[in-house]
Amino acid sequence: MDFSFLSSYWSYFNYGVLVTIMISACVVLFGTIIGVLIALIKRTDIKILTWLANFYVWVFRGTPMVVQIMIAFAWMHFNNMPTIGFGVLDLDFSRLLPGVIIISLNSGAYISEIVRAGIEAVPKGQVEAAYSLGIRPINTLRYVILPQAFKNILPALGNEFITIIKDSSLLQTIGVMELWNGAQSVVTSTYQPVSPLLFAAFYYLMVTTVLSGLLKLMENKLGKGTKN
């Protein structure tokens, strides 16, 4: 197995992983916003909104992400969007934006369930105590429920970030130049069908391992804070 190509094509992997991390960070940010909104909508008494929220979660959790990406790319036409050079890679925003949007929507469906579980884990007695003190429901949600729910769901959000890093490789189906697509470009240039892909897989493994370690440290810190 020959990895001599790294001396000439190392930058494809370095820039590719940076694009992958940027995509994943954007997806988790937007997905979290969407997930919180959906979780709150599902707690309302407005049946049509609750039904729409449940339908949204059902669709995005029940269909393959790669199918969602292809449909989004076919439906979303971002004309006259720029292509920006990022190191050795070219980021075509007419392809990048549909990918980020659809993965954010997909992630939002999963995060909404995480947020729902986090909210339900908050003891009801605290909510009742807030109401008995005359705190308005919106302020109870803001100052009592969500801060505690966020602490509960933070580890799960970190795991979602790791999952998105891996799932972002599906964007190569619409030509987004992230880590996996960068590796395939190396395959095309070097005529080595296996080694570049193995190194890309190793790169994914290293990134997710580091993030998993950081998440573990965060969980331990939160656990200590809870015990104290």
pTM exceeding 0.85 = yes
- Whether 29 is covered by a domain: the verdict is yes
Q: What are phi and psi of 192, to 5 degrees?
A: -110, 105
CATH code of the domain containing 128: 1.10.3720.10
What is the distance between the alpha carbons of residues 147 and 45, in angstroms, rounded to a whole number? Answer: 23
Residue 136 has pLDDT above 60, yes or no: yes
**Residue 5 domain-assigned?**
no
| Domain hosting residue 76, numbered range | 17-227
**Total tally of structural domains belonging to the chain:** 1
- In-domain check, residue 174: yes
Is residue 123 pLDDT above 90, yes or no? Answer: no
The answer to whether residue 12 is domain-embedded is no
Burial of 115 (0-12, 13-18, 19+ CB in 10 A): buried
In a domain, 33, yes or no: yes
| pLDDT value, residue 225 | 55
pLDDT in tens, 172-226: 999 999 999 999 999 999 999 899 999 999 999 999 999 999 888 887 776 665 5
The stretch 113-125 carries a mean pLDDT of 84
Radius of gyration of the chain (CA): 21
- Assign 228 a pLDDT band (cuts: 50, 70, 90): very low
**Residue 102, pLDDT above cutoff 90:** yes
Contacts of 135 by beta carbon, 8 Å cutoff, 6+ apart:
143, 144
| pLDDT value for 165 | 94
The pLDDT value recorded for residue 139 is 81
**For residue 145, is pLDDT > 90?**
no
Q: State in Å, rounded, how far the first CA of the chain is from the last one.
A: 52
- Residue-wise pLDDT tens digits, 56-93: 999 999 999 999 999 999 998 887 888 898 888 889 99
Express each pLDDT in 2-33 by its tens digit. Answer: 788 888 899 999 999 999 999 999 999 999 99
Query: What is the three-class DSSP state of 46?
Result: coil
Which range is least confidently modeled, 48-62, 109-123, 163-177, 202-216? 109-123
